[in-house]
Structure 1
C-alpha cells in the first residue's frame, strides 16, 4: 500500500509518497513507474494539491442500493454517468464557492473516487480492474437549483461543473480493498453521511469496463462512484470533511461567492 500526494513548496510542484508526517519525494510519472529521489519533506512544510489533474472527470448517479430504495429508483444495469468539468477540481483545504449570483442550494456528496492508471478501451472486468491505479476521496458538489432550472433540459454539467465543485484528495491510496471501506461526511464535525461501499450497485471494475466500451479512459482520469443517503445542502462557513479509512480526510470550507 502507498499513499501518493502532489504538493507545492516555494512555488515548485512535486509528488511523492506520504508516511505519517513525511513525504518521500519522487520523480518521473506518478502513475507510471515513479522513482524515489532520496529526498524527504515534512508534510507541514508543503501545501497539498489535488493528487491528480484528470483529463476526464466522470460521476455516477444512483449507484447505491440504500439510496435507490429510499428514492424509489430502479436498479441500473449500466452506469448512469455524467461528466464534471475537470477544471472544477480543487485540493484539500481549498474553498468551495457557489457561482457568482447563485443563491440556491449547494449539496455535498461524499464519494469514492477511482483514479485510472493506464489507457483502457472496451475492456473486460479483469483488464478494467487492473487499470485502476488507486482510490481517493471526492466531494461531488452540486448546485441543486441549477440542475432543473430549465424544465426542458436537466443541466448536469452546469450544476456539477462550476469552479471549485470538484474537491479531490488528500491522497491516492493503492492496495486497498474498496469493498471493506465506508464513506463518512461531517459538517462542522457532525457526521451526516456514513455508508458502506459494499452497498454499491455497480462495482469499480465493472464501472470502468462498461464506461470504457463508449469512452476511452486515460491515465489520470477520475470516476466518482456515486453517493448514498445523507447528502444535504451546505451553508457558508461550514467545514465539509469526507473521510474514507485508509485514504484519509478531504476537508474543504464552503465559503460565500467571491
Structure 2
C-alpha cells in the first residue's frame, strides 16, 4: 500500500488516503481516520493530480542515524563511529513533497543528504531487532538538509540539522517494500550526485530502529532516518534536489 496525506488542490482539511494506480490513472482513496488505527477506506476517490500531497506523517520526533554509510563518513573526513551516532530533527523541520525551503541565512554551505526513512506504526520501546518489523508501518523518502559549516563548528548537531524545513519527507509511505537493498539516487537540477544502495548501511533498518528505541519511546508516526550514502554536496538558491528510492518514489525540494 502507498499511504499518503493530502489536501484537495483547492484547499481544505488534510486526510489520509491510499494511492492506487500510476501515472494519469492514479487516484487517492480517502481513509477513515488515520492508518495507525487500521486502514479503512471510504468511497471518496480523487485523481492524484487534483490533490496536494503533504508530508505523509506528522511525527512527534525524527531520530536520525549519523555516519551510517562508511563511504559517507570517509568523504567528510570522519571515522566510522564505534557507537551509533543519533541526532534529532523536530516537527517544525518536516515539510512535504515539492516544498520550497528558504536558504538559511545562518549558513554558507547547505548540503543535501538523501535517505531512507522508516515510519513507526505503533508505540514501542526497547524493541529487539527481530521484532522491528512488527512496529514499522512502512518507508518513505527523506532529505536530511544540513548546514554543514555549522555542523563542523558546533559539537552538538541540533541547530545544523534541526532547523525549520530541514526534513522534507514523502511522497507517501510504502508498506510493501524490502528495505535491505534499495537503490538510492539524488539529483540536483537533473545531475546525479548520489547513486547508492541501502545494502551499504552499516546498521540495517532493524538495528537502527532497535538502537534508538532503547532510550526513547517511539510513537505512531515517528520517523527514523537511516543515514546517507556518499556524494553529498552543496545547494544554492534556485536548485531543485530530488531523492529517489527504488520501490517507494521520488521526493523533490526547491531551494529558494
Q: TM-score range by the shorter chain?
A: over 0.9
TM superposition shift of 1:103: 4.6
In structure 2, distance between residues paired with 1:16 and 1:75: 40
Q: Is the 8 Å Cα contact of residues 85 and 157 (structure 1) preserved in structure 2?
A: no
Return the alpha-carbon distance in structure 1 between the equivalents of residues 213 and 220 of structure 2. Answer: 13
Map 1:231-250; keep pairs closer than 5 Å.
231-250=232-251
Corresponding residue for residue 4 of structure 2? 5
SS at match of 1:211: helix
CA displacement 1:189-220 (0-9 Å, x = unmatched): 11100101000100111111121111111111
**How far is the alpha carbon of 1:154 from its aligned partner?**
2.0
Aligned residues between the structures: 250
Q: Equivalent residue of 1:31, what SS?
A: helix
How far residue 71 of structure 1 moved from its aligned partner, in angstroms, is 5.1
Question: Is the 8 Å Cα contact of residues 121 and 136 (structure 2) preserved in structure 1?
Answer: yes
- After TM superposition, the structure 1 stretch with the greater mean CA deviation from structure 2, 72-81 or 222-231, is 72-81
- 8 Å CA contact retained: 1:137, 1:242: yes
Match of 1:209 in 2: 210
**Deviating runs (4+, > 3 A) in structure 1?**
68-78
User: How far apart, CA to CA, are the structure 2 residues paired with 1:79 and 1:38?
Assistant: 46
Contact 2:103 2:237 in 1 (8 A): no
Q: Which residue of 2 aligns with 1:24?
A: 29
Match in the other structure for 1:102: 106
1:19-59, Cα deviation, whole Å (9 max, x unpaired)? 22211111122223020002110111110000011101111
TM-score by length of 2: 0.93
CA contact (8 A) 2:60 2:90 kept: no
1:154-173 superposed matches below 5 A: 154-173=155-174
Give the 3 Å change call, closer, same or farther, for CA 69–32 of structure 1 in structure 2: same
Determine the structure 1 residue equivalent to 2:63. Answer: 58
For residues 62-91 of structure 1, give each alpha carbon's deviation from its aligned partner in whole angstroms, at most 9, with x where no partner exists: 101333455564444542110112211000
**Aligned residue in 2 for 1:224:** 225
Query: Corresponding residue for 1:37?
Result: 42
CA distance in 2, matches of 1:209, 1:60: 12
Scaled by the length of structure 1, the TM-score of the pair is 0.92
CA contact (8 A) 1:116 1:219 kept: yes
RMSD: 1.5
Q: Which moved more, 1:122-131 or 1:54-63?
A: 122-131
